[in-house]
Amino acid sequence: MPLQRSPRQLNASQCSQFHISGLDYGIRTLTRLFTLCKEIRQALSISSLPSLYDSTGLHQFSFSPVDIRTVAGDGTRVAVFCWNLMKSQDSSFMTRRLLHMRTIYYRMMVFLAAAYLLIPDWVLAAGAGGTELIVVADTRRVSWGPEKYFLDVYNTNLTLFGVWCLLLTLFWGMFLGLLTDQIMKRTGLDLEHRTIVEH
């Protein structure tokens, strides 16, 4: 059977026939597992949940129940499981386990970083606080005509303001560049030749 990601829906009869061809496991809180485990065992009338080995025989898994549902229509009760890495018969298990722990650590770091960035966005998306930040230039303290004009442009048409920013930067940069270039020429230095030496 191909590798399946947890959680997965299985009924009691399917559990014993299920085999895993690769390593996969889910991470669930222990509290939730212990609470649900007893309930589901009773509901499915089974004494224990099956343990399985992956294709290499190095890793042993068990199914941990995370939910129990009733399928609409025929009334079949279905348990939702996730894989859990339990233990192995192999002597080098701990070394391998540590490697997997490192993977988990990286995943957790990525998860935390993603949560740090995404949670505010989700929260804002749910309420009115997510509106775009609007900045308005205060023209009350400005009296000089051109400055007032640019501030009005800023307040009314940001695209035009962007174009003005570009043009003014070009103009002022070019003007100052040519001016200072003329001044440097008067120093008498050779400003057209150089030798490249790295070290």
Among the listed residues 31, 73, 143, 190, the single contact to other proteins using CB under 8 A: 190
Residue 173 in the binding site for other proteins (CB under 8 A):
yes
Residue 115 in the binding site for other proteins (CB under 8 A):
no
Among the listed residues 5, 101, 120, 149, the single contact to other proteins using CB under 8 A: 120
Please, what is the minimum distance in Å from the beta carbon of residue 188 to other proteins? 6
**Site stretch for other proteins (CB under 8 A), options 13-21, 58-66, 82-90, 130-138:** 130-138
Q: Which of 3, 34, 8 is nearest to 19 (CA)?
A: 3
Residue 30 in the binding site for other proteins (CB under 8 A):
no
Q: What's the CA gap between 90 and 59, in Å, rounded?
A: 8
Residue 121 in the binding site for other proteins (CB under 8 A):
yes
Q: For residues 34 and 175, which CB has a smaller minimum distance to other proteins in the complex?
A: 175
Q: For residues 86 and 167, which CB has a smaller minimum distance to other proteins in the complex?
A: 167
Q: What's the CA gap between 174 and 168, in Å, rounded?
A: 10
- What are all long-range contacts of 16-25, with beta carbons under 8 Å and residues at least 24 apart? 16/50, 18/50, 18/52, 19/52, 20/52, 20/53, 20/54, 20/55, 20/61, 20/83, 21/54, 21/55, 22/54, 22/55, 23/54, 23/59, 23/85, 23/100, 24/83, 25/61, 25/82, 25/83, 25/84, 25/85
| Residue 138, amino acid | D
Please, what is the minimum distance in Å from the beta carbon of residue 165 to other proteins? 3
Binding site for other proteins (CB under 8 A): 116-117, 120-121, 124, 130, 132-133, 135, 137-139, 141-142, 147, 150-151, 154, 158-159, 161-166, 168-170, 172-174, 176-181, 183-184, 187-194, 196-199
